[in-house]
């Protein structure tokens, strides 16, 4: 059983993995004792892929500002058996409910309990998993008060407990350093051959397609500029980075990252937007190295 994301996450990179792999530094497999850092880990698709594909990664650091998500990573890493048992009990209770209305009321009750912010890590993670599997479209969204507010998803028999994935992920995460807080703190963990992969909340393509409500703090254009300045620090320190974001029509990122290399990757995003009207070239990948694996293969 391969490790894979244990939660659904808006903007997950599963569909883009092959394209991201092709745009790694051309000599990445020749690097020794690699440190890999994800300051915005989210669902972790790239993390799980990189750790299972590139054995030269000796140290991995992940961070996210969402404390509930980071608690999940820690519980999956440190207490997988207890988590599986807790999820099995909750799944059994949910499956025993006979009507959609009773399942909805149960969902709302669990959501209220989750929003008390007074649960121990195991129970908090159990409810995080439950809500992620039973809420509308697997979204994670909070209001300005930081409370989870996604409505009921009307799934009759969702997989609340995926024990195989939890155990596989736990094994892979054993040697991963897990942080929560300002992404800029991750720079202190870089040493030697280090690759940063940034997957921040995306800049909206337009006024109607905004979705970056993972935390109560907004990630606006000021935050995007602050992130660019951090990328400059990474560059000045001699480390390599890749950064994903939306391909905005106003060329915001082309101007912001003018000094770096920008590639465009094919993707399909449809949260709060009609993807068919945007075309397929919807994401950019910024990096501070010229030659990529894709170019190496072409040669």
The per-residue pLDDT for range 24-72, each reduced to its tens digit, is 999 999 999 999 999 999 999 999 999 999 999 999 999 999 999 999 9
Sorted by where each begins, the domain ranges of the chain are 14-65+181-298, 80-164
Q: Which of the two residues, 145 and 11, has the higher pLDDT score?
A: 145
261 CB-contact burial (10 Å; exposed 0-12 / middle 13-18 / buried 19+): middle
- E-only strand ranges, the chain: 34-38, 57-64, 176-180, 194-198, 240-246, 261-265, 283-287
Say which CATH class 80-164 falls into.
mainly alpha
* Per-residue model confidence (pLDDT) at position 298: 58
- 14-65+181-298: what fold? Rossmann fold (3.40.50)
Mean pLDDT of 102-113: 97
* Residue 82 predicted with pLDDT over 80: yes
* Residue 275 predicted with pLDDT over 60: no
Mean pLDDT of 214-228: 82
What is the average pLDDT value for the chain, to the nearest integer?
Answer: 91
**DSSP bridge partners of 34:** 57
* Residue 159 predicted with pLDDT over 90: yes
Matching CATH topology for 14-65+181-298 and 80-164? no
DSSP 125: H
Q: How confident is the model at residue 230 (pLDDT cuts 50, 70, 90)?
A: very high
- Cβ contacts of 245 within 8 Å, gap of 6 or more: 200, 202, 203, 224, 253, 283, 284, 286
Q: How confident is the model at residue 205 (pLDDT cuts 50, 70, 90)?
A: confident
* Residue 279 predicted with pLDDT over 70: no
**DSSP bridge partners of 36:** 60, 195
d(CA 63, CA 127): 21
Q: How confident is the model at residue 217 (pLDDT cuts 50, 70, 90)?
A: low
């Amino acid at each position: 059983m391969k490790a894979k994301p244990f939660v659904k996450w808006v903007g997950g990179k599963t569909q883009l993995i092959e394209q991201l792999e092709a745009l790694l530094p051309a000599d990445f497999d020749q690097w020794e004792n690699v440190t890999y850092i994800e300051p915005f880990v989210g669902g972790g698709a790239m993390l799980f892929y990189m750790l299972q594909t590139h054995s030269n990664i000796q140290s991995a650091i992940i961070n996210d500002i969402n404390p509930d998500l980071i608690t999940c990573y820690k519980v999956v890493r440190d207490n997988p058996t207890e988590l599986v048992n807790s999820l099995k009990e909750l799944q059994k209770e949910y499956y025993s409910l006979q009507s959609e209305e009773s399942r909805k009321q149960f969902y709302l009750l669990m959501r209220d309990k989750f929003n008390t912010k007074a649960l121990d890590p195991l129970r908090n993670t159990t409810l995080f998993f439950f809500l992620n599997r039973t809420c509308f479209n697997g979204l994670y969204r909070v209001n300005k008060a930081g409370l989870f507010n996604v409505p009921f998803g009307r799934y009759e028999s969702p997989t609340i407990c995926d024990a195989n994935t939890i155990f596989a992920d736990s094994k892979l995460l054993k040697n991963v350093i897990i942080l929560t807080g300002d992404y800029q703190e991750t720079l202190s963990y870089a040493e030697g051959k280090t690759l940063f992969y940034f997957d921040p909340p995306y800049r909206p393509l337009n006024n109607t397609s905004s979705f970056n409500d993972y935390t109560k703090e907004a990630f606006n254009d000021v935050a995007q500029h602050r992130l660019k300045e951090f990328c400059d620090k990474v560059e000045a320190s001699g480390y390599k980075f890749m950064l994903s974001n939306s391909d905005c029509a106003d060329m915001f990122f082309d101007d912001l990252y003018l000094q770096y290399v920008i590639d465009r990757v094919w993707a399909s995003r449809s949260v709060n937007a009609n993807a068919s009207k945007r075309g397929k070239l919807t994401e950019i990948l910024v990096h501070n190295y010229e030659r990529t694996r894709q170019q190496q293969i072409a040669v």
